């Protein structure tokens, strides 16, 4: 079963500066609630390793060197995690928690 590279757009693009390739993170989804309903958060995957971040600036030879990459992180995920992560940003806001090895 290998792993898949999954791009994620984080809710706080400036937080990407805290990440570097190889860093382990847990990915959290905070689903949008209605006006009178509290937001629900859930862990989607973790710990997963970071492969690339927009903070790398699209250096030559790096992933996704062109286009709108602000707030983008690419993580390695197993098939089950990848299924949960794919398109998750359409369901709410994505955040990460730094995990020590």
**pLDDT at 60 (0 to 100):** 43
Rounded-to-integer distance, Cα 14 and Cα 70, Å? 9
pTM: predicted TM-score of the whole model, two decimal places = 0.82
**What integer is the mean pLDDT of 79-100?**
92
Residues 37-87 pLDDT 10s? 667 899 999 999 999 988 775 554 455 555 566 789 999 999 999 999 998
Domain around 26: 4-99
Closest listed residue to residue 96, CA positions, set 35, 37, 11, 3: 11
Domain count, the chain: 1
């Amino acid at each position: 079963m290998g792993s898949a590279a999954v791009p994620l757009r984080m809710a706080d693009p400036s937080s990407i500066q805290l990440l570097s390739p190889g860093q382990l993170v847990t990915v959290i989804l905070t689903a949008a609630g209605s006006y009178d309903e509290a937001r629900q958060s859930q862990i989607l995957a973790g710990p997963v390793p970071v492969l690339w971040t927009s903070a790398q600036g699209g250096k030559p030879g790096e992933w996704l060197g062109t286009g709108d990459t602000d707030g983008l992180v690419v993580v390695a995920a197993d098939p089950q995690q990848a299924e949960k992560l794919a398109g998750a940003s359409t369901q709410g806001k994505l955040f990460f928690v730094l995990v020590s090895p």
